[in-house]
Amino acid sequence: MFSRACQRLLLPRYLVQNSSKVLLSSKKALPVYTKNFTKFSNYRFYSSKGDVKLTSEVYPSLKRFEHFKRLTSDDIVHFKQVLDNDDNLVLTADLDFFNEDHLRKYKGQSSLVLKPKTTEQVSKILKYCNENSLPVVPQSGNTGLVGGSNPVFDEIVLSLANLNKIRSFDNVSGILKADAGVILENADAFLAENGFIFPLDLGAKGSCFIGGNVATNAGGLRLLRYGSLHGSVLGLEVVLPDGTVLNSLNSLRKDNTGFDLKQLFIGSEGTLGIITGVSVLCPTRPKAVNVAFLGVESYEAVQKAFTESKNYLSEILSAFEFMDLNSQKLSKEFLKQKSHPLDEEHPFYILIETSGSNKDHDDVKLESFLEYAMENEIVSDGVVAQDETQLKTLWNWRESVSEASTIYGGVYKYDVSIPIQDLYRLVEDVKVRLSDFNLIGETEEFPVKDAIGYGHIGDGNLHLNVAVRRYSKEVESCLEPFVYEWIKKHNGSISAEHGLGFQKKNYIGYSKSDIEINLMKQLKKLYDPKLILNPYKYINFDK
């Protein structure tokens, strides 16, 4: 812990207890495909109690598109032929894993899951579905947070899980080509062996697929350093709704020959085409990584620390995350820990990560920053990880907040972009509102346990989690559209990284103009005139 006395020593001491047993994710041997269902058992346990209600029952006004055909046994026979009559690739029973989202808020009624092994099979499936007006939901790791990858009614689930091969890697240019169904953590472990790093990292890395990451334009923990996928994805292989395979999976860093079509599919959440392959530019893996965990007394101090960290750490700053006190209290319960990295409580915590090529240089830069921050009373207390285990433990206090928010029963998650100076005020205003509506409290009668805030300050990205004992219409209508109106008033985005999916499709108007929404509808109709791909999501076509 830093004390005023130790500043002059420039030698931060690390006092976190070694608690490797609480680490949730561990690196695996690679590249092996891990069955999703096993991976998700933990999430399921924590995410909710009881059965998940059918989405169609929770939203009775939502109607199935009448132009969609009902699935028949003839269709299933056809799909079996396309998938080489391999019974492992055509599932018709025990489909809860695919029908339910992992937050257990949404549940569809699909009776068919297809798990093709090749791009050609995906193409044949979509061509048939398009000709026969059969709706399809593409599904990657099913780690989405807005119900975007689960059916709503009887849509066929097309799982990318069997498209899971690394295709090639060039260790001069750092360009990786891989199937869309490769698990993010597996891709990164493969790259680590070659001295490179995947330019994206996020909590669900052990389960999410890189194709799903691209389809949802995932941001994650190191966007600050490596930028958005719109910059690092060099090419995509995409199957369009009519079965056409659009292949731009090139190995070139620069290509200015025509519209950059692949960009349309990055963040389109499976509504324009199904991504089957990804070409991505990977940076050199940093040789030295430091993590500091700091306590600060106000949100103003969090902002000051951010500005100064950019100044002092510049090119080695790879993450700047903040958490409020209550988020850490939830993590403590979830992790079943008696102590926290910092002995005393602070209103806010910051996790700073540096990644560089020279440990000595990085240490000097980090120490200069910490010295400045302590001397100027921006930071009150802090620890710096001294080894890989401590580093993971500190990250775990940040990464576990998402799951910790669900331990009381469920969570309403709002993942929003707001200009930095206004960012935390949303959490405060939501708490006041929940209190005004008498919905929040310590005892079982109140549906809401707490509202917490944390996120990526560097990206202006707040995660507002309303931890609930049970999902209820009352809480939902207290929060929505209040949260979205608040964000619109502050020129923010109602979805920084989670996407629109099912949850936010009715609220797109809070972030986009009618002109933009009409242009989106135009594009959707151009590529998918029968609306077979991921229907009832993203853009509202029924009003």
What's the min distance (Å) between Cβ of 207 and a second copy? 19
Does residue 538 belong to the site contacting a second copy (CB under 8 A)? yes
CB of 142 to a second copy, least distance (A): 18
Footprint of a second copy on 480-499 (CB under 8 A): 491-499
Encoding tokens for residue 35? Answer: 């069955």
Site for a second copy in 318-377 (CB under 8 A): 355-358, 361, 364-365
251-260 exposure pattern, b = at least 16 Cβ within 10 A, e = fewer: eeeeeeeeee
Structure tokens at 225: 């350093």
What's the one-letter identity of residue 150? Answer: N
Q: Which of 48, 123, 162, 511 binds a second copy (CB under 8 A)?
A: 511
Is the CB of 365 or the CB of 449 nearer to a second copy?
Answer: 365
Residue number, 311 or 477, with CB nearest to a second copy? 311
Q: Which is nearer to a second copy, 454 or 471 (CB)?
A: 454
Least separation in angstroms between CB 361 and a second copy: 4
Choices 41-49, 77-85, 221-229, 373-381; region in contact with a second copy by CB under 8 A: 221-229
Contact between residue 20 and residue 389 where contact means Cβ atoms under 8 Å apart:
yes
Q: Least separation, in Å, of the C-beta of 123 and a second copy?
A: 12
Q: Are 354 and 366 in contact (CB under 8 A)?
A: yes
CB of 14 or CB of 196, closer to a second copy: 196
Among 420, 426, 483, 532, binds a second copy (CB under 8 A): 420
In the window 15-74, what residues touch a second copy (CB under 8 A)? none
CB of 451 to a second copy, least distance (A): 21
- Per-residue binding string, a second copy, 124-163, x by CB under 8 A, is ----------------------------------------
Helix (H) or strand (E) run with residue 383 in it: strand 381-384
* Interaction mask 375-404, a second copy, x per CB under 8 A: ------------------------------
Q: What is the DSSP letter of 367?
A: H
3-state secondary structure of 56: helix
427 contacts: CB under 8 Å, gap ≥ 6: 324, 451, 452, 453, 462, 464
Helix (H, G, I), strand (E, B) or coil at 348: strand
* Shortest Å distance, C-beta 258 to a second copy: 5
SS3 content of the chain, % helix, strand, coil (to 5): 35, 20, 45
Quote the least distance from Cβ 513 to a second copy, whole Å.
Answer: 7
Q: Which is nearer to a second copy, 159 or 217 (CB)?
A: 217
**What is the number of other CB atoms lying within 10 angstroms of the CB of residue 131?**
12
CA distance 458 to 350: 11
Looking at the Cβ atoms of 92 and 522, the one nearer to a second copy is: 522
Compute how many residues bind a second copy; rule: CB under 8 A. Answer: 88
Minimum gap (Å) between residue 420 Cβ and a second copy: 6
Smallest separation, CB 377 to a second copy (Å): 19
Q: Which is nearer to a second copy, 450 or 497 (CB)?
A: 497
Task: Tell the smallest beta-carbon distance from residue 520 to a second copy (Å).
Answer: 5
Q: Give the range of 13-21, 71-79, 427-435, 518-526 binding a second copy by CB under 8 A.
A: 518-526
Strands 233-239 and 245-247: antiparallel
- Between residues 96 and 516, which has the closer beta carbon with respect to a second copy? 516
Tokens of 437: 């509506």
Is the CB of residue 346 less than 8 Å from the CB of residue 381? yes
Q: Which of 421, 428, 477, 542 binds a second copy (CB under 8 A)?
A: 421
Q: Report the length, in residues, of the chain.
A: 543
Provide the 10 A C-beta neighbour count for residue 28: 13
Instruction: Provide, rounded to whole angstroms, the least separation between the CB of residue 153 and a second copy.
Output: 23
State in angstroms the smallest separation of the CB of 23 from a second copy.
Answer: 27
Nearer to a second copy among residue 95 and residue 517 (C-beta): 517
Restricted to residues 224-283, the positions that interact with a second copy (CB under 8 A) are 227-228, 230-232, 244-248, 250-261, 263-264, 266-268, 272
Cis peptide before 31 (omega within 30 of 0): yes
Number of alpha carbons in the 13 Å side-chain half-sphere of residue 348: 23
Minimum distance, C-beta of residue 448 to a second copy, in the bound complex (Å): 26
| Cα gap 178→175, rounded to integer Å | 10
Of 156 and 208, nearer to a second copy (C-beta) is 208
> Measured in whole angstroms, how far is the alpha carbon of residue 501 from the centre of its chain?
12
Residues 173-212 that bind a second copy (CB under 8 A): 173
Q: Yes or no: say if 106 and 64 are a contact pair by the CB < 8 Å rule.
A: no
Tell the residue number behind the tokens 């395979």, with chain if given.
245
Distance separating alpha carbons of residues 495 and 517, to the nearest angstrom: 15
User: What DSSP state is assigned to residue 459?
Assistant: G
Interacting residue with a second copy among 83, 126, 182, 223 (CB under 8 A): 223
Residues 221, 200: Cα–Cα separation, whole Å: 7
